Amino acid sequence: MTGLAEFTAVRLVEGYRTGEFGPVEVTRAILERAEYAQSTVNAFVRLDADGALAGARASEERWRRGRPAGLLDGVPVTVKDLLLMRGGPTLKGSRTVSPEGRWAEDAPSVARLREHGAVLLGRTTTPEYGWKAVTDSPLTGVTRNPYDPSRTAGGSSGGAAAAVALGAGPLALGTDGGGSVRVPAAFCGVFGLKPTYGRVPLYPASPFGSLSHVGPLTRDAADAALLLDVISGPDARDWSALPPPPGSFVDALEGGVRGLRVAYSPSLGGQVAVRPAVAAAVRRAVTGLAALGAHVSETDPDLTDPVEAFHVLWFSGAAGVVRRLGPRRRELLDPGLREIAGIGARLTALDHLAAVDVRANLGRRMGRFHEAYDVLVTPTLPLTAFEAGAEVPRGAGLRRWTGWTPFTYPFNMTQQPAASVPVGVDGDGLPVGLQVVAARHRDALVLRVAHALYEAGVAGVEPSAGAR
């Protein structure tokens, strides 16, 4: 059977249930794609073919007996190399992390995957400690874009997004501290969700504090809902985790968008210069929302760019990442990470408290905004993928990655759920993302809006040549 690597997780589970195909043949097909993804875009730190096939055989036996372990039994999943996964090192893209040790503990989201019978394929690439919105590191080199390997996959979950785009597993776990799920999702033409902070438990805590969220990268919103149903289970190791969700995210997908109040902000009130092809693709998708019955208003949130406050929080986290490293080991770091860590180390407690005040004020304003509007829609990014191996586009006059991600990091500060939905390509055939944002705890609404776009044929892009 051909096409197994293109199937969504929902479709795979249905095929296992009916006996149309089994986890072993699916895993073999996806491992073949994973090898291709590694050779063409460098999506993986480590593939575990033997472990994946062993997991697939065990799953196949459970399905044969009619006793699947859970919602994802036999579905191949990848894990970003910032999340603990027992049986091998979590290197975080860094030459400063020793691979030695027992590595006997799973992160909460990985533990939930095992409990539900998922087939764990391997670890996807990240920039060092996830510090920037492109994926290259001193340890693993550059991860490239599936639509054009001369371009970046985005980051910091770039390996995860590239793997999904190339059929190397329908589901991937990523992390998002300033856009790190949504940015690569937009650049690679897949779906990415940053849930409400605490919706997915995280352990160990991120050095970037409550800016960092765990979230899914998938083929579509329905697969993300299925994965979120699994990984949102509670874990006592995360004291800031939310209680269990009130119901299934899959069950909440239906209902459409008729009657929803949608705020469409094409440029955050003129603060962001959006490339014409991106703006046009997003506007077409917003027109599609209106055609589905949503009440769309072109309006902007009260959102003065909080980049300086974000930098204080982010650079302080970077300083925390490296604080125990001696001078020799610091020389092994990505120079950009070393630079922002140095800035962070010079910040004061008062600087940090002032940034917290900015964050609280931003959260209050967005809370009031969502009293009037159910969701906010923006471009995910103002541009499409640029040259690989660079933190900022050549000639853009920008210093840091935050200069080209103004639509994403504000919603890490407010802890709101936000998703990137692919809505077409630009003139170079590079994917464009649309961002859907809702009030805190309304993850199901974000998924419902995105699902409506997929169901209506508004969302989605043609797969890259390597995935066909």
Half-sphere exposure of 360 (CA within 13 A, CB side): 6
Task: Catalytic residue, from 94, 109, 157, 180: name it.
Answer: 180
Give the pLDDT of residue 321: 94
Query: What value does the mean pLDDT take over residues 336-361?
Result: 98
d(CA 388, CA 31): 25
Q: What is the pLDDT of residue 347?
A: 98
Question: What average pLDDT does the segment 81-110 reach?
Answer: 97
Q: How far apart are CA 17 and CA 65, in angstroms?
A: 11
As a whole number, mean pLDDT of residues 205-209 equals: 95
Q: What is the pLDDT of residues 142-197, one digit of tens each?
A: 999 999 999 999 999 999 999 999 999 999 999 999 999 999 999 999 999 999 99
**Inter-axis angle of helices 23-41 and 158-165, to 10 degrees?**
120
What is the residue range of 395's domain?
A: 4-467
Quick check: 305 pLDDT over 90?
A: yes
Q: Which secondary-structure segment (H or E) carries 218?
A: strand 213-218
Q: Over the chain, what is the mean pLDDT?
A: 97
Average pLDDT over residues 299-320: 97
Active site residue 156: yes
Structure tokens at 270: 């003129």
Residue 321 DSSP SS3: helix
Distance of CA 160 to the CA centre of its chain: 8
The pLDDT-based confidence of 267 (bands split at 50, 70, 90) is: very high
Each residue of 232-248: pLDDT tens digit?
988 999 999 999 999 99
Please determine, for residue 1, whether its predicted confidence score (pLDDT) is greater than 60: no
Mean pLDDT of 254-276: 97
Question: Could you tell me the two tokens for 417?
Answer: 């759920």
The enclosing domain of 83 has a CATH number of 3.90.1300.10
* DSSP, res 188: H
Task: Extract the tokens encoding 350.
Answer: 């008062």
Which residue is catalytic, options 59, 137, 156, 212?
A: 156
Choosing from 80, 92, 132, 194, which is the catalytic residue? 80
Q: Quick one: pLDDT at residue 2?
A: 52
Q: What pLDDT is attached to residue 467?
A: 80
Mean pLDDT throughout 281-289?
98
User: For residue 322, what are its two tokens?
Assistant: 């490296």
Tokens of 145: 């874009």
Domain count across the chain: 1
